[in-house]
Amino acid sequence: MSRVLDVYIDGGFVASAATATIPVTNPADQSVIVQAPYTTMDEINRAVAAAKAAFRQWRLVPASERARLLMVYQARLKEHQDEIAEILCQETGKTFADAQGDVWRGIEVVEQACNIPAMMMGETAENVARGIDTYSLIQPLGVCVGITPFNFPAMIPLWMFPMAIACGNTFVLKPSEQDPMTPNRLVELFYESGFPKDLVQLVHGGKEQVDALITHQDTKAISFVGSVAVGQHVYRTGTDNLKRVQCMAGAKNHMIIMPDADKNQVISALVGASVGAAGQRCMAISVAVFVGAAREWIPELKEAMAKVRPGAWDDNAAGYGPQISAAARERILGYIEKGKLEGATCLLDGSDCTVDGLPDGNWVGPTLFSDVTPEMTIYKDEIFGPVLVAGNVDSLDEAIQLINDNPYGNGTSIFTNSGGAARKFQSEIEVGQVGINIPIPVPLPFFSFTGWKNSFYGDQHAYGKQAVRFYTETKTITARWFSSDVVADANMTIALK
């Protein structure tokens, strides 16, 4: 049997007492790399207890000192970026360039967390009534929990625990059981950077472990990224147990193509945004909406997509890697067949994709459907693979209505050379993250990741200023000092100085 990953519980990395494990496979060849333990309930309780005990001291550490340690951590992450990326490639199948980007986007959030002293400043108002001042303090919550998905095993954990730690909290991380090696390395580097023990606990497992964390009496806030079904469960269960919860869930992201757009830019953007990362990202463009004469570009889009092929992580010519699991591949193939049966035109079919030397990989080739309507399953459901569906409308108004009628609101974009069309789009569209001539409008970390509608459950979003509000409470103080309290004796005044 392959080695079993350690967990970080109560002071250090240790072997779990669990007897059951989850095989972590290389999706390019199905070989088992490591085993992830189903962390025991006793270990979950010990992890939360250790984080709670560490919080009592960590919350008193000045924000500037926390920031200095985070600066060391971001430097160490940069030093080990390629190493982390290679680990990530082995367990996800991502191409090396894609994996490097995964790590880098996480590093950017750590850099933003280094600005925490300025982000935790309160407000002051003098003389709100005669002789009365009011001011606010920003203070941490306690033990926070992160439940992260398979598709970005470096970036998304780094969205969560560095910001929580920067705010003075402690953290329990439960990463995806499909690619847990990358988060393990992130936590190792965290402690190598000089942080006190027990600030971040790391456990592995499945639904039972997640439920134990989100219902535990001593956890205060839950951050989750994953599917809609699991997100709804986490949100309802967490809030029912009086937790603060943020859940980033599913998506169906549209890109509007106006006939005045730059055709070459449109085609290049659509190819990369639809099949990049094997389509396994919540901000992928999965619906192309061609307005008017722009529909004439679909044959050229097909030609461009047909040139992209998946391959192994170290194949420099590969456009993307395999799907994360055989089950994910079968799910995508099922949607492709469903699209054909429901009457969509399959211009490019990646169902029979193979890669030389890797016959057992979870491969799906680029797939393109046209003549797709909103009633079709491939339009309504998030496929989460390298499948792009295309539809046609006659006007910008019709395109905006199509998107606003969709239950998801994670991201969208418009390609146009018209400032008026772009401004109308950004004003009227009911989606949280909007790109103008940018296909995947993920904001940099000094903003927040702001999905809407069924793409997000909660009040405060990930990273940026909203993350600080999510991981903290505001304490408001109203104070009055009486004139009789003024020290009148000159010697006493000197002594107080």
- Catalogue the active-site residues: 282
Smallest Cα–Cα separation from 461: which of 474, 448, 445? 448
Q: How many CA atoms lie within 13 A of 38 on its CB side?
A: 10
Query: Which amino acid is residue 253, in one-letter code?
Result: N
- Under 8 Å between Cβ of 214 and 145: yes
Q: Is 244 helix (H, G, I), strand (E, B) or coil?
A: strand
Alpha-carbon distance of 366 to 361, in angstroms, equals: 15
CA dihedral 191, 197, 198, 201 (to 10 degrees): 20
Tokens 């199905």, residue located: 30
Smallest Cα–Cα separation from 189: which of 95, 110, 116, 100? 110
Smallest Cα–Cα separation from 258: which of 215, 311, 219, 297? 297
Alpha-carbon distance of 105 to 159, in angstroms, equals: 9
Rounded to the nearest 10 degrees, the angle between the axes of helix 81-92 and helix 63-79 is 70
Identify the H or E element spanning 469.
helix 464-470
Q: Say which residues have a Cβ less than 8 Å from residue 137's Cβ, sequence separation at least 6.
A: 122, 474, 475, 476, 477
CA distances for 485 relative to 300, 489, 494, angstroms: 81, 12, 16
What is the phi/psi pair of residue 451, to 5°?
-65, 155
Q: Say which residues have a Cβ less than 8 Å from residue 215's Cβ, sequence separation at least 6.
A: 237, 241
